[in-house]
Structure 1
Amino acid sequence: MIIDLTKYQEKGSYTTITGKYLPEDIDYFQREINVDEPLDVKVDIYADEDEFVFTGKLEGGYKLACTRCLDQFRYSIETDMEFIIEKSEIDDLAHVDLSDKLKENLILTIPSKAVCSSDCEGICSQCGQNLNEFNCDCEKEDIDPRLEKLGELYNEE
């Protein structure tokens, strides 16, 4: 998202900009985040002596893989954002690219454990069947081999 800040160089200048932001797919810690629709961006920009202060909202959604069943689902976001760009960092005030800052704020919305629904059953640890679709016939009483001797003690009493 490229904006023009040439009119807002003086200290105290203020404006609001709205637009759309569609980043390329993000690979974040081996988790693929698929942004299939542009995100809504609303940014208030305030010019200070040596910097531009940006505050606003990022709204929309993207696709994630559920950590339980591995199915893709849409994750909706509405997040506040705030960042600063030093005037000395800007080469051309007519073409200020906010994409990196927006991407950083988007990455901050990624949940550590994304679950498609609160009642997701996940997948069977033995056969890999998605338990939301079908039940499997696998034996559910797995005994950790390290604790098997404790089970024998319990059975003796």
Structure 2
Amino acid sequence: MAQALSVDVLVQSQQWSALEGVESLVERAAAAALARGSVQVLNGAELSVALSDDAAVRQLNAQWRGLDKPTNVLSFPAAEADELADAPHVGDIVLAFETVAREARDDGKTLADHTSHLVIHGLLHLLGFDHETDAEAEAMEAIEIAALSDLGIADPYADLELET
């Protein structure tokens, strides 16, 4: 039986209304990440996703990471990765609309595809994945690529590899 997350999407910025069906998009992306992440979580555990703006994310980034600037996605784990099988809450993900939209536009991606990628990326952090080393980054990117492929979304790193 497949694991399931209860995804609570909170639209904090009305700018996200530019993305029709954003709540279901977030739910599908989270399910794809969970399916590919190979980390056992409590069936029905909650994931909170806040669709916010640059100002709010900048404040959170300054408070929690000491970086006084907005970023595309922040992840706040509610439990350690080895405790997720018994944790009722996986954690929180916060996305900044202006940054996400700008990156999508600059990279020639749709807002929907880039948002899906960032939800997957954020959830993988909550599941214990990271990209501090090259090996960690390769492993995390491989899971992201597979989860995005499951959603019919192209490899977001393909163009980056061609540029180097």
Q: Specify the TM-score bucket, using the shorter chain as the normaliser.
A: 0.3 to 0.5
Relative to the length of structure 1, the TM-score reads: 0.33
Report which of the two has the higher share of strand: 1
Mark the structure with the bigger radius of gyration: 1
Q: What is the TM-score normalised by the length of structure 2?
A: 0.32
Does 1 or 2 have the higher relative contact order (CA < 8 Å, sep 6+)? 2
Q: Which has the higher helix share?
A: 2
